[in-house]
Structure 1
Amino acid sequence: MAPDVQDRSAPGSFHTTDALPVPHRRAYWRGALSETFGAVNMTVPDEVYSGTIRATPLGRLQAVTVDGDCLSALRTRRLVSQDDQDEYVVVKLLDRGVARLEQDGREALLGPGDVFVYDMARPLKLTLPQHFRTKSLVLPRDVLGLRESDMAQVTACPLGPDTPLGGLLSPFLAGLVDGARDYPPRTSELMARNVVDLLGVMADEVLGRSAAEPPDGNRAVLLRIQAFIDRHLADPDLTPRAIARAHHISLRHLHKLFESEEATVGRWIQRRRLQECRRDLALHPDVTIAAVAHRWGFTSAAHFSRVFRAAYGMAPREWRGTQDPAPRLPSSAGTLAA
């Protein structure tokens, strides 16, 4: 195996074959794909001429660009069952080349400018038969907020650049992924939260739903509220009443919206705060636990420790001691993010 060629000057990861002798490129490229894409059967040509993979954190999302020769990626039921981190969805723009995606009994033939979705929780096959470039957003399934039945209808249903929404999403997704490594951390978080609304509109477009149709019409409102919560997690005065007032809805209607999330509004806020605290505890080992808790809206360090232990089965200090502080693309998030 040739030595790893990565740019470590920016968050995320970068792999390229360009600096390697030609005989070493195929082995390196397969290794880079495996490291990034996790549990997948990957086929690449006998001779690899060039290939790059760039993955950049964008809040809870990952922005991934892959430029390379032809490949075929197969995720079988066995691989899905063996992968304990399959809770990711990939929203992808085919920027160059052609592709074929098979999932949920559908086959989509794709061309430049097409935007499409696939779900890592179920088997799929992605074939790119010629030189290609893709730009992807990899996001936890809970961020998109789709029911299982809806997700199964959205996969392998591309939006072309000649459609009204596809024409909007294609350049937006390209610009978002291209600029991800240059955004300041706060801007990255805001961009990631705001893009969720557009993805929700994309899902409605594929499903043929109108925003006025109940109960699914409320999902767009729910996603906007969840994005609002994410933007204001650091505010200790973030309460259900304040959220309802900001969105001009009743408190009763707000609680009704969250019934589908199997969590009260207060529990949702606490869960998101804990998730951000857990991330910061790993990424910033020199910051005190009390400072991390305060940053994300917990006014009492003792209360934070109690709810953290209740959620994760150990104290914040114990959890921090088990973590690798280096940021990495989750193996399942990267899977098939080509």
Structure 2
Amino acid sequence: MAVLLDTAALPRADREEAFYAAMMSASVPARVEHETPSGEVHARMDFWLLGTPDLFRNEGTGIRLVRTPKHVRIGAPERLALAVQVIGTGRFDQAGREQRVRTGELMLVDLTAPYDFAWRGAGASQAFQIDYADLGLSVETIRAAAPRLRSSPLYDLVLHHLTVMPTVADALQGTESAAQLGEATTSLVRALLTSAADHRDSAPAMADVLFARITWYARNHLTDPGLTPARVAAEHNISLRYLYKLFAKHQLSFEQWLITERLAGARRQLTSTPHRPIASIAAQWGFLDPAHFTRRFRRAYGITPQEYRRRG
């Protein structure tokens, strides 16, 4: 976690300017208005980088953020934000649609278009910000989903996920799992929007969420020798046949995917622990036969584990 701003450490006269600078570094250009008199601004902003997407939390005294057409013309990355109001009640207006966002509710913000968002008194909001390119959905789908988020059977799941994300993201900062958390959350958001845009058929979206959950689970148990297809299926209350079907939908074999992930983990450790025996690393990642590990490694990367370690 990076603390972008904590006004408690600043002179009162500098807080508004510092707030504006921190807000613009974390999100897109907008006009900032404070409810409290000059100098009485209180705020804390936290930021977590999760690969390409990020998580941004702002808590403090009443504010209003107005993104005008002029701000849009200035340019900014093409992103959207799925935000949860964690303290207080927000008022959000975009594309002629105004809504009250109460504590524990989600709102979808198109950061490429004008909007008006505010809360009075003490409040806090945390937003998962993601590039349109990574989300892979059309503008029409996103606009259709925005007013119908609650119609999705995934609404409560995604709401809980975003609410607890700061604690999880803190624990994963500095690890490869942070980017994996970003990828998994992206899949959840994609499924939420797809199912909300056309809530009559949410089965494909639910399958995408299940696939994301399974790959997240497997990546966190890669060094467990008991990680088998049968165990993964049982942990997610599905049949072994359906597990294979989910992976086939993504043009993958579960076993080959697992081997690829374990090889990648072993490859990273070859250079991060240069004095540890290669056979020991191979065994940790599920390759009990060193010769088999060497053959698999060479097939995947074109060189032997020893050559890879020598090259650094």
TM over 0.5, shorter chain:
yes
Query: Are residue 109 (structure 1) and residue 99 (structure 2) matched?
Result: yes
Give 1 or 2 for the bigger CA radius of gyration.
2
Q: Letter of the 2:208 partner, please give it.
A: R
Equivalent position of 1:65 in the other structure: 57
CA distance in 1, matches of 2:100, 2:282: 47
What letter corresponds to residue 229 of structure 1 in structure 2? Answer: A
Q: Which runs of 5+ in 1 are unaligned?
A: 1-10, 321-338
2:121 is aligned with 1:127:
no
Q: Is the 8 A contact 1:45 1:71 kept in 2?
A: yes
Q: Does the CA contact (< 8 Å) of 1:93 and 1:173 recur in 2?
A: yes
Please report how far the alpha carbon of residue 71 of structure 1 lies from its aligned counterpart in structure 2 after TM superposition: 1.8
Amino acid at match of 1:124: A
Structure 1 241/111 Cα, relative in aligned 2: closer, same or farther at 3 Å? Answer: closer
Q: Matched residues in 2 for 1:216 and 1:157: separation?
A: 15
Q: Cα deviations across residues 228-283 of structure 1 (Å, max 9, x unaligned)? A: 323323346756676557664355x44442355355545654676688789x88xx
1:162-191 CA deviation, whole Å, 9 max, x = no partner? x997678657744x14644775889x97xx
RMSD after superposition? 5.4
Please give the TM-score of this superposition, normalised by the length of structure 2: 0.59
Ranked by relative contact order (alpha carbons within 8 Å, sequence separation 6 or more), the top structure is: 1
Residue 65 of structure 1 aligns to a residue whose secondary structure is strand
Alignment partner of 2:223: what SS? Answer: coil
Secondary structure at the residue paired with 2:24?
A: helix
Q: CA deviation at 1:135?
A: 2.4
Identify which range, 22-31 or 242-251, moves more after superposition.
Answer: 242-251
2:2 equivalent in structure 1: 12
Deviation of the 1:67 alpha carbon: 1.7
Q: 2:264 and 2:162 mapped to 1: Cα distance?
A: 26
How far, CA to CA, are the matches of 2:109 and 2:285 in structure 1? 34
Q: 1:93 aligned to 2:81? A: no
Gaps of 5+ in 2: 288-292
| Aligned pairs for 1:46-195 within 5 A | 47=38, 49-56=41-48, 63-68=55-60, 69-73=63-67, 76=72, 79=75, 83=77, 90-94=81-85, 95-102=87-94, 107-113=97-103, 114-118=105-109, 123-131=112-120, 132-138=123-129, 148=138, 151=142, 153-155=144-146, 157-159=148-150, 173-174=162-163, 176-177=164-165, 179-180=167-168
Say which structure is richer in helix.
Answer: 2
Deviations 1:128-166 (A, max 9, x none): 2344420234568899x8755755543454549xx9976
**Is the partner of 1:33 in helix, strand or coil?**
helix
Partner of residue 231, structure 1: 220
Measure how far apart 1:12 and its partner are: 3.4
Match for residue 336 of structure 1? none
Q: Percentage identity across aligned positions?
A: 15
Asked whether the equivalents of residues 234 and 294 of structure 1 are also in contact (C-alpha less than 8 Å), the reply is no
Q: Secondary structure at the match of 2:30?
A: strand
Determine the C-alpha separation between the residues in 2 that align with 1:273 and 1:73.
Answer: 45
Q: Distance in 1 between matches of 2:230 and 2:244?
A: 10
What are the superposed Cα offsets for residues 168-217 of structure 1, whole Å, 9 maximum, x if unpaired?
8657744x14644775889x97xx59988976885576346478x65555
Contact 2:265 2:285 in 1 (8 A): no
Matched, 1:45 2:41: no
Matches of 2:18 and 2:155, distance apart in 1: 35
